[in-house]
Amino acid sequence: MAENMVLEATARTGTGKGAARSARREGMVPGVVYGGGKDPEPINVRFNVLLKALKQGRFLAQLIDLDVDGAKQSVICRGVQRDVVKDLPTHVDFLRLSERSRINLFVPVEFVDEEKSPGLKKGGVLTVVRQEIEVKVRASDIPEKIVVSLEGLDIGDTVKIHDVSLPSGATPTITDRDFMIANISAPSGLRSSDDDEEGEDAAEAEAGADEE
C-alpha cells in the first residue's frame, strides 16, 4: 500500500475572490475540503509546499493526511487550478475520505523481468501503451504501483489487462474490453527487412500479372 503524504494547511477566514487574492499575496494557495457529509471547509496551503508536492508526482493519485491547524483528516486531491500563463497552482480542491471509501484513480505501471523476455533478448522493443492504469480501490488500499512481468514474452506478444495481477481490492475502471498495456515489437532493422521482402514479393507478383 502507498504511504500517505502529510500536508499542512490552515483554515481560511472569508470566501470569494477577495479572500483568495489576499491568500495568494501572503504566499498561500487557497483551497477547499469538501465531502464526507460535512460542510465545505476553506483552507490555505503554503505555495512552496504545494508546488514541491506537485513536482514529486502522483499528487492526484495518493491518500493525503491533511493537517488543518492540528486537526488531521484523510483526503485525496480532486483538482488543482493553475495560472494559464505561468502554470503555477492557484487553487486546490480536496475530497474527504474514510478508509472504506472507494475511489477511482490512476496507478503507475512498473515493468519487471526484462532479462527473462526472449523477445527483448532478440533486440525487440517494449512499446508501452499505458503508463498508468485507472482502477477503483478502497482509500485504505491505494497501491503505489502495478507490477507487470515481461517473463516469457516474445516478439509480437502483448500484455493485456487480463494478464496482470492487480493489487488486492483493485479493479480496472474499464470493464467492457480487454485493453492493451504494452507489446514487444520487432527491432527496426528487422521490420525494414520484412518490409523490403514484402515489397519485392509484391513487385514480382505485379510483374507476373503483366506478363500474363
Q: Environment class of residue 91 by beta-carbon count within 10 Å: exposed (0-12), middle (13-18) or buried (19+)?
A: middle
Give the residue among 51, 10, 45, 9 at the shortest CA–CA distance from 30.
45
Q: Give the single-character DSSP code of 126.
A: E
Widest pairwise Cα distance in the chain: 89
Tens-place pLDDT, residues 28-46: 999 999 988 889 999 999 9
Instruction: Using a pLDDT cut of 70, give the percent of the chain over it.
Output: 87
pTM: 0.68
Residue 77 has a pLDDT of 93
Of residues 151 and 207, more confidently modeled? 151
Burial class (CB in 10 A: 0-12, 13-18, 19+), 173: exposed
Q: Is a pLDDT exceeding 60 seen at residue 181?
A: yes
Query: What is the sign of the dihedral through the CA atoms of 50, 54, 60 and 66?
Result: negative
pLDDT on residue 17: 85
CATH number of 5-97: 2.40.240.10
Neighbours of 123 (CB within 10 A): 12
Residue 176 region, left (φ>0) first, then alpha (ψ -120 to 50), else beta? alpha
pLDDT at 209: 42
pLDDT score of 98 more than 90: no
> Per-domain residue ranges for the chain?
5-97, 103-192
> pLDDT class for 19, splitting at 50, 70, 90?
confident
| % pLDDT > 90, the chain | 64
pLDDT > 90? residue 195: no
pLDDT on residue 20: 87
- Give residue 191's pLDDT: 53
| Section 145-155 average pLDDT | 95
Residue with cell 502554470: 87
Q: What is the CATH number of domain 103-192?
A: 2.170.120.20
- Contact between 82 and 52 (Cβ < 8 Å): no
Confidence check: pLDDT of 212 > 90 = no
Computed over every residue of the chain, the mean pLDDT equals: 86
Mean pLDDT computed over 127-140: 92
Q: Reply yes or no on whether the pLDDT at 202 is more than 50.
A: no
Q: Do domains 5-97 and 103-192 have the same CATH topology?
A: no
Segment 189-210 shows an average pLDDT of: 47
